[in-house]
Structure 1
Amino acid sequence: MRIGTGTAILAAATLFAAAGAQAQVVQGGLELRWGDPAPGQRHLAPKFEAALVLDGGARLALDPGQARRGAGDLYALANRRVAVQFSSAKSAGGARGIEAIVPADDPSPARPHGLAGKTDGVATATLGSTRWITVACRFGDIAEEQKPVAFFRSQYGEAAGELGHYWREVSYAKINLAGSDAKGWYALPQPRSHYVTGPADDEKADLTALFNDCTAAADADVDFSQVIGINLMFNGDLDGFAWGGGRCATLDGANRCWSTTWNPPWSFNNLAPLAHEMGHGYGLPHSDNSDGDDDTYDNPWDVMSDSWSNAVRDSTYGSRPKHINIVQRDRLGWIDAARKRTIASGSARTRVTLDYASLAGAGNVQLLLLQTPTSPDPYRGTWYTIEARRPVGAYEGALAGDAVIVHRVGPNYSQEAESQDADVPPANTANNEGSMFKVGELWMSPDGLFTVYVESKTATGFVVVVGPEARVTGGNGQRRRR
């Protein structure tokens, strides 16, 4: 973890002092972790954990809801050094109350925070070399090694369908995995029952012990100070979940937070769930659809939601990951300013040429932001994002259709992006016609502030007309509303 600069600490102190003299300010690394259930177990709710890791290694569990509200965009602070202002009150779950969370490190040069349009230095771009190391470990009582180490090493390759190629493509070559490697298999010092405890229907994996023992077993062969991410592979099931996010620790003399994943065999046998967990390692939250249920894995336009539906299949690496949606790309700083356009509610009718989100070197807008009126409460408010997708390529080839896709995003990225569905009721999985807006079709935002009319198709995407009255005279296509 990086030591905060005087400017960052002064800003944190000023914010906290204004919030109340009784507040306690504590600094440390911010760990965020998501648990994703195995295929066929979608009745299990995803898990989310947040913790503040102190410099001495102690961990303070954070109430996720309070952490989201205290930070605004909590996910932008993943794996970073932060300052947390605790209140004297307790949360409903018994954790310490949180007043605010701010960065306390030295952020890279500020960039506009994609949806809020503010430049505050909180959101930092993920760019350049992002080297990962795979460490394969076997439980003391399980001998099977499902894949050779060479398989894990090849997953990082640059051929179509491999992770190195995938992350270059989805980031428009903004990041790469050059130098990533794999080591193993290493014997853990304990049987599975030591690391995974509890009744069969409610097991709990000790992610801390799994991380500590697996990295310790590989320490002689791996210089962890040279990587940003660690993919841990285990030869047995964990707690029914694969996990991704961050782990703050001291390895090879470096005290910082690593992007980390914990993968059982069903996860590492397929690139789609592995890419999903790596996305969490980069700080990406889940996406969702607009059906209002508790299942976050029903948006097949984003690998950070539904990894399995509408996925291209690979004989070697199983299900390939589709791209992440335009919201997630913007979170990581991969959308150039020239490829973004914002339209505020109440604006005159505007015609926009929208290129496919998958195009590298696009010449037109790829991210269209629809901005609702500013709310006096920074934790309220809505944005809509418009992008174009089509079933073409090594990862997108099995998408449901060639169309304009709309997502709703909550304030300050504090909520999951939800794909919008014009069908009533919305479909359980957003690969239906109601989630795809094609030529001659119109979408109206639930708040009635925007309509988006798909006017025509181009060689590289669509032309859309946005405004309170986006209807075009002579259009005879189906009009959809939600």
Structure 2
Amino acid sequence: MMARRWIFRLAGTLLVILSAPGTGPLGAQGAAVTGVLSAQWGDPSAPGGVPELRWILADDRGQTRSVVISAAQLARAGGLRGLDRRRVSVSGLLLSALRLGPGEAPAIQASSIQPLGAAGAEGALQFGSKPYAVLLCKFSDIPAEPRPPSDFVALMSNSYPNLDHYYREVSANQMNMAGTEVFGWFTLPQPRSSYVNGTSPNLILLGRDCAAAADPTVDFSPFAGIITQYNGDLGGSAWGGAMGITVDGQTRLWPFTWMPQWAMELSMYGVYAHEVGHSLGLPHSSGPYGATYDSKWDVMSNSYIAFYAPGNAYVGGHTIAYHKDLLGWIAGGRKVTVTGPAVQTLTLEAGAFPSPGSDPLMVQIPIPGTTEFYTVESRRLAGYDASLPGAAVVLHRVTPGALTPAKVIDADGNGNPNDAGAQWLPGELFDDGNGIKMQVGAQTASGWTIVVTPGNILTVSGTGNGAGQVASLGGVSPAIGCGITSGTGAGSCIAAYYGNPNVTLTATPQGNSTFAGWSGACEGLGPCALPMTQARNVTAHFTTDCTVNVSATPGAGGAAAVTAGGAAGACGRSVTVTATPNAGYGFQHWTEGGVQQSLSAGYTFTASVPRSLVANFQAQCTLTLGAGPGGTATLTAGTAAGNCGRSVTVQATPAAGFTFGGWSDGGSVTPYTFALASDLTLSANFVIQCTVGVSAAPANTGTAVVSAGGATGVCGRSVTVSATATAGYAFQGWSEGGVTQSANAVYSFLATTNRTLVAGFSLLPVAVTIAETGAGSVTGACTALAGRSCTVQAVPGESLTITAVPSPGWRLKEWQGACGGAAPTCQFTPSAAMTVTAVMELSDAEGFLQTALVRLLGDPGSSSPECAYLDAQGNRNGLCDVGDLLAWLDTVPAAALSAGRKP
């Protein structure tokens, strides 16, 4: 339910579980009945509500009654698993009831409960198809049908987020609700007040009357459970569990739910999944703070973790691994129970959409000395778990006999079992303070790796050529009983301890052996007292004498000898061993069992245990370093003399005019680092270098670079130089000492001597357009006739001279552009593309007409300025014809012609 901090109602030591309203003592009448007992959970809708647990007994005479069981009785019977759906014998006092339904017997206040036969069915295995009969029942005084049956058909279907789909995913397709059918609405024989007294519904009467109303039309034989849905409130709670009823003429125990009207509203998907979970035998889980509905990690706690807008209702997530295990949905091979003494590293796979592999889906860590245990599971954001607080490893402490067995381990203790304190991520360590530890490693594609330590581990081992027994004193459990012969242990030599006990070990030699003392976590010859607050290692040394054996490695490297105290003798004597290296070798150290003992070639010690010492020698290698003409070579790291295999670094430094040409052993880099495997004479080689210098001229007209081969390098190398002109300039060629070398902007050559190259650039020519308007022409750089233009390519900075030549009857009015004024000749210096125009004007219309007539009569196709002018004013057909003349005359005032002046 929604993160609500609710607690179970306790009245003294009694857990009150009355089913029928208006109950009380029925005199002092006693009764003893036998039948099947089942639990019903009431889950409130309101914040701050309190969950309620009831018990119903279907007795052997076909009657059904409520049973009141104290908390102490429930605990003695083993909790829910000890009583739920189990055959029992109950004796106690009968309680009166204001109204009993047909076949309902008075409630009984149990004074004793005796389980009969096998354990109960709480969490009984659930596999295959589990179809439910959904019965829609309305009170006789409430005719409303809040939802049509089709809504419940959809609710039970195999599509998200409906019940068949939900349980297929949560069970990893091991259980489904296929075959579920919806029936009703049926009318109950009584009004709501006959079934519900305040906040106390009569579950027996409700269930039996609803089933009886449906019985004539419903064949119950195909169904595994019954869901009853009512059109009114049932005292504020929805209920789930089991109850014995008679349908189709047969009495049997049915998984059963009682759903109030509010279960069809905002809470629909979540509360249905929750109560069906109770009908399958699941209890609640929670955080550790006394609130039942505060854990978003379990639909059996908070079943409202995501809002599904299309259905306008809340959806729950998966149930926890402990519950899945109760229902058989975690195969035996995918549940690992970690017991001492070994530390186990496991790859824990998430429970949502598990692969068909073998990685565990649940790890169970027993708490020694109790029936309790920790569970470890991996949760990921997928499917119905997509809205969990986070993807993480989640731990619960499980007390099997408790009403709420599984409670979240929340490290920060802040009252919120959903925050970071309950999400165990890589590097985080759970330590219960008594020896059990769980550390999260790396995240995998499907979960996480974890390392589980079932307790503080004590490891006992032995050395020496003797024999003995190491044992723990007192009644500490588990006990150590480790037999050691010639350093090999047998028996109980490793134990994991919980609760940080003090463990005392004794060492007893056998035969002619002597106990020579402890090493590791203990020293000396007496008992070894160990506070087992952490992992500890202890070695017991048993010997028949204290021999000292020596050897040398490698054999060619030198000799090892016992030079004082003797190789054999009593324990406690002083012994000296001496290592002598052969030529070309150096002494390194003494070792025993691969562990360094001394750096002195002469090593003196007290032989309190047998010793096997090895003198370690290392071949010596010398580096002789030299350099050829043109530079020097130096040793910058390592030593010239020392152990073969050591790392050395040499540096070559060329003199001016030279470059490094490589090492005599083929090395080509400097500095040069390598492992010296043998004596080596190494020389640095140098070669004369040739430089290539480049520049651009004039300045700022382009760039010149050495684009390949380097400006400095070995003579004879291939070099490429590249020239790039600045905008407005063109590359002219490469030159050296004023002599052209190449016309190519990219110039490659062999650098056999020092070179100094210049990339030459010049300005690009610009287009100068010379135009004429009127009759006449412009001559000089190019010729432009009347009304036309010509273009010349000019070098910026060089001057041009042009002259305006008017036709007869015309004169130069002005220059436009780079030239100004009305002088016939203009000289200018272009710096960019430009246009210069000679503007002519008519000065003598009659004279022009005479000239034009001559042209017209003499050569109509003449290209004279006069004809060109007339054609531009006329029909523009490229000829000097009558049409052109007439068009021009239309534009000239008669007075101008008669007066012979400018029109």
Scaled to the shorter chain, the TM-score interval is 0.7 to 0.9
In structure 2, relative to structure 1, the CA distance for the partners of 1:225 and 1:234 (3 Å cut) is same
Residue of structure 2 equivalent to 1:437: 424
Aligned length: 410
Q: Deviations over 1:11-41 (max 9, x none)?
A: xxxxxxxxxxxxx985312221000001xx2
In structure 2, relative to structure 1, the CA distance for the partners of 1:58 and 1:134 (3 Å cut) is closer
Aligned match of 1:298 in 276, 294, 299? 294
Residue of structure 1 equivalent to 2:378: 388
Aligned match of 2:55 in 18, 35, 50? 50
Residue of structure 1 equivalent to 2:849: none
CA distance in 1, matches of 2:138, 2:338: 53
1:114-129 aligned at under 5 Å gives the runs 124-129=124-129
Which amino acid letter does the alignment assign opposite residue 101 of structure 1?
P
Residue of structure 1 equivalent to 2:206: 210
Contact kept in structure 2, 1:75 and 1:284, CA below 8 Å:
no
Residue of structure 2 equivalent to 1:336: 331
Deviation at 1:54, TM superposition (A): 0.6
Deviation at 1:333, TM superposition (A): 1.1
Residue of structure 1 equivalent to 2:394: 405
Residue of structure 2 equivalent to 1:63: 69
1:156-195 aligned at under 5 Å gives the runs 156-195=156-195
Residue of structure 2 equivalent to 1:420: 409
In structure 2, relative to structure 1, the CA distance for the partners of 1:185 and 1:58 (3 Å cut) is closer
Which amino acid letter does the alignment assign opposite residue 448 of structure 2?
F
Contact kept in structure 2, 1:156 and 1:177, CA below 8 Å:
yes
Residue 226 of structure 1 aligns to a residue in which SS? coil
Contact kept in structure 2, 1:137 and 1:187, CA below 8 Å:
yes
Residue of structure 1 equivalent to 2:723: none
Which amino acid letter does the alignment assign opposite residue 283 of structure 2?
P
Deviation at 1:85, TM superposition (A): 5.8
Residue of structure 1 equivalent to 2:872: none
CA distance in 2, matches of 1:147, 1:458: 45
In structure 2, relative to structure 1, the CA distance for the partners of 1:174 and 1:306 (3 Å cut) is same
Deviation at 1:329, TM superposition (A): 0.5
In structure 2, relative to structure 1, the CA distance for the partners of 1:87 and 1:210 (3 Å cut) is closer
Residue of structure 2 equivalent to 1:95: 109
Residue of structure 1 equivalent to 2:306: 311
Contact kept in structure 1, 2:35 and 2:57, CA below 8 Å:
yes
1:277-288 aligned at under 5 Å gives the runs 277-288=275-286
Residue 301 of structure 1 aligns to a residue in which SS? coil
Please state if 1:236 is matched with 2:232: yes
Name the one with the larger strand percent: 2
Q: Deviations over 1:30-87 (max 9, x none)?
A: 221000001xx2312100011322122142514052453243253475345x123658
Q: Deviations over 1:180-202 (max 9, x none)?
A: 0101111222221221123xxxx
Deviation at 1:442, TM superposition (A): 1.4
In structure 2, relative to structure 1, the CA distance for the partners of 1:241 and 1:444 (3 Å cut) is same
Contact kept in structure 1, 2:43 and 2:237, CA below 8 Å:
yes
Residue 43 of structure 1 aligns to a residue in which SS? coil
TM normalised by structure 1 equals 0.79
Deviation at 1:360, TM superposition (A): 3.1
CA distance in 2, matches of 1:96, 1:366: 40
CA distance in 2, matches of 1:216, 1:184: 12
Please state if 1:83 is matched with 2:97: no
Contact kept in structure 1, 2:67 and 2:108, CA below 8 Å:
no
CA distance in 1, matches of 2:139, 2:92: 42
In structure 2, relative to structure 1, the CA distance for the partners of 1:414 and 1:244 (3 Å cut) is closer
Contact kept in structure 1, 2:431 and 2:438, CA below 8 Å:
yes
Please state if 1:365 is matched with 2:360: yes
Residue of structure 2 equivalent to 1:134: 134
CA distance in 1, matches of 2:116, 2:423: 38
Which amino acid letter does the alignment assign opposite residue 279 of structure 1?
G
Residue 157 of structure 1 aligns to a residue in which SS? coil
CA distance in 1, matches of 2:74, 2:171: 26
CA distance in 2, matches of 1:397, 1:195: 40
In structure 2, relative to structure 1, the CA distance for the partners of 1:35 and 1:175 (3 Å cut) is same
CA distance in 1, matches of 2:124, 2:108: 32
- Greater CA drift, 435-444 or 355-364: 355-364
CA distance in 2, matches of 1:401, 1:33: 32
- Greater CA drift, 327-336 or 140-149: 140-149
Contact kept in structure 1, 2:133 and 2:223, CA below 8 Å:
yes
Aligned match of 1:461 in 435, 447, 456? 447
Deviation at 1:224, TM superposition (A): 2.1
Q: Deviations over 1:99-150 (max 9, x none)?
A: 5424469x9xxxxxxxxxxxxx997412222110111111122232211101
Which amino acid letter does the alignment assign opposite residue 196 of structure 2?
V
Name the one with the larger helix percent: 1
In structure 2, relative to structure 1, the CA distance for the partners of 1:67 and 1:152 (3 Å cut) is farther
1:257-268 aligned at under 5 Å gives the runs 257-268=253-264
Deviation at 1:320, TM superposition (A): 1.8
Give the RMSD, CA atoms, in angstroms: 2.6
Residue of structure 1 equivalent to 2:319: 324
Deviation at 1:382, TM superposition (A): 1.6
CA distance in 2, matches of 1:98, 1:141: 41
Contact kept in structure 2, 1:138 and 1:145, CA below 8 Å:
yes
Q: Deviations over 1:333-392 (max 9, x none)?
A: 111011010112x533221100001133342001100011134xxxxx320000000121
CA distance in 1, matches of 2:335, 2:227: 33
CA distance in 1, matches of 2:248, 2:294: 40
CA distance in 1, matches of 2:83, 2:184: 31
Identity within the alignment, %: 35
Gap regions ≥5 residues in structure 2: 1-30, 94-106, 458-903
Which amino acid letter does the alignment assign opposite residue 454 of structure 1?
V
Residue of structure 2 equivalent to 1:145: 145
Deviation at 1:170, TM superposition (A): 0.9
Which amino acid letter does the alignment assign opposite residue 259 of structure 1?
P
In structure 2, relative to structure 1, the CA distance for the partners of 1:147 and 1:141 (3 Å cut) is same
Contact kept in structure 1, 2:57 and 2:66, CA below 8 Å:
yes
**Greater Rg by CA:** 2
CA distance in 2, matches of 1:60, 1:205: 12
In structure 2, relative to structure 1, the CA distance for the partners of 1:122 and 1:425 (3 Å cut) is closer
- Greater CA drift, 334-343 or 407-416: 407-416
Residue 355 of structure 2 aligns to a residue in which SS? coil
Which amino acid letter does the alignment assign opposite residue 360 of structure 1?
P
TM normalised by structure 2 equals 0.43
CA distance in 2, matches of 1:455, 1:75: 35
CA distance in 2, matches of 1:87, 1:59: 13
In structure 2, relative to structure 1, the CA distance for the partners of 1:103 and 1:288 (3 Å cut) is farther
Residue of structure 2 equivalent to 1:14: none
Residue 426 of structure 2 aligns to a residue in which SS? coil
Please state if 1:374 is matched with 2:362: no
Relative contact order (C-alpha < 8 Å, sep 6+): which is higher? Answer: 1
CA distance in 1, matches of 2:167, 2:71: 30
Gap regions ≥5 residues in structure 1: 1-23, 108-120, 376-380, 471-482
Contact kept in structure 2, 1:70 and 1:100, CA below 8 Å:
no
Runs of 4+ with deviation above 6 angstroms: none
Contact kept in structure 1, 2:56 and 2:66, CA below 8 Å:
yes
CA distance in 2, matches of 1:420, 1:410: 13
Deviation at 1:274, TM superposition (A): 0.7
CA distance in 1, matches of 2:81, 2:66: 18
